[in-house]
Amino acid sequence: MEYVYELAKKRATIREFKDESIPLDDVIYALNVAKEAPSGANKQPWRFVIVTDAKKKLKIREFCEKIEKQFHELALDWMKNGLKQEISPGKSHF
């Protein structure tokens, strides 16, 4: 258990990446491992797409960042409004 705790403490969010390409065999291996992760009803519903074109990756990133920003803005409003409401036992607030 100590090993898992120490590993979690070392975890970091990466904001800058190297320009080096990763060998395709390594990417495929990582995806084969990832697809075995547990999921609801053991359905593994995910799909993976490997994008190598830099312009396409930039477009995907810009789109995802736009959607993420919208989500956080909505979530912030939801949290603010949710905290204002009195929470009643047995009542769903979602």
Cα distances (angstroms) measured from residue 80 to each of 50, 67, 73, 83, 88: 38, 20, 11, 5, 17
Task: Report the percent of the chain where pLDDT is more than 70.
Answer: 85
For 93, residues 6+ apart whose C-beta sits below 8 A from its C-beta are 82, 85, 87
64-79 pLDDT, tens digit per residue, is 999 999 888 887 777 7
Judge whether residue 61 has pLDDT over 90. Answer: yes
| Per-residue pLDDT band at 8 (split at 50, 70, 90) | confident
**What is the torsional sign of CA 54, 60, 66, 71?**
negative
The pTM of the full predicted model, rounded to 2 decimals, is 0.53
pLDDT at residue 83, as a whole number: 63
**Whole-number average pLDDT of the chain:** 83
